[in-house]
Homo-oligomer: A and B are copies of this chain.
Amino acid sequence: MAEAGEGDAVPEVGALFFDVFGTLVDWRGSIARDAPPIIGREIDGFAFADAWRDEYQPGMEGVRKGDRGYVKLDLLHRENLERILPRFGLTDLAEDARVQLNLLWHRLDAWPDVEFGLSRLRRKFRLAPVSNGNIGLMVDLARKNGFVWDAILGAEIARDYKPKPAVYLAAAEALGLPPERCMMVAAHSYDLAAAAECGLRTAHIARPDEHGPGTGETQPLVPVDVAAGSLTELAQRLST
């Protein structure tokens, strides 16, 4: 596919790039289920998951603004964990438990349509996560959930965090494709808007339960090339 399409009016898509947290994996349900046994005390797992995730976007701002150099999301997750522990009365939590909690982000469960959807899409397209998660985290999530990627792209190769343009552009450049032959797939309109701004094509996947039942985007809030309710539906729409 790399060789074809350059002369066409609408260039052929050669690669699909995937957001991961929320789009492919259920971070909230996984953390809510798996954190309490590690903590070993009565705790509202969903409140804990939500509080931890609420620190996610602010945690990346220092790198995005250039106030600090790139650090892996693993480190930001750990810093964010330290920030929320006092709110849950867990300032005395043992170091080993903190390490185990942080590794939960490497073992999140996929939404049920993802493994099969990706395998169908891979027949026709090169597939890569373009996530803010670091390479090692992406590798572990893929091994746990049976994702087969062609490459791991995203924040770590760009040394910056989405929605900064460098992340989308570095992914296209790594595969030797112009942005218009790459399609970003995500459940979040802000991610798709930023990708479109860089010239990528976009596909929205509805994940209405990401932050709890009925809380997610059921439809894209920005113009997109394709909107689908699952990866299997996306595969049908893209004729794979």
Contact = CB atoms under 8 A, between A and B. Distances in A.
Contacts of A97: none
Contacts of A2: 103, 106, 136, 140
Interface in A114-167: 126, 134-136, 138-140, 142-143, 148-153, 156-157
B103 A176 contact: no
Contact of A150 (B72, B134, B139): B139
B148 A148 contact: yes
A174 interface: yes
A139 B148 CA distance: 12
B142 A150 contact: yes
Copies of this chain in the oligomer: 2
Given A2-B106, A3-B103, A103-B3, A143 B135 contact: no
Interface string A69-92: 000101000000000000000000
A51 interface: no
A226 interface: no
A38 to B, nearest CB: 13
Contacts of A152: 150-152
Nearest to A142: B150
14 contacts: A72-B176, A134-B174, A135-B151, A135-B174, A138-B151, A139-B151, A139-B175, A148-B148, A149-B149, A150-B152, A151-B151, A151-B152, A152-B152, A157-B157
Given A2-B136, A126-B143, 13 more contacts: A2-B103, A74-B176, A126-B139, A134-B174, A134-B176, A135-B151, A135-B153, A135-B174, A136-B176, A136-B177, A139-B150, A142-B150, A151-B152
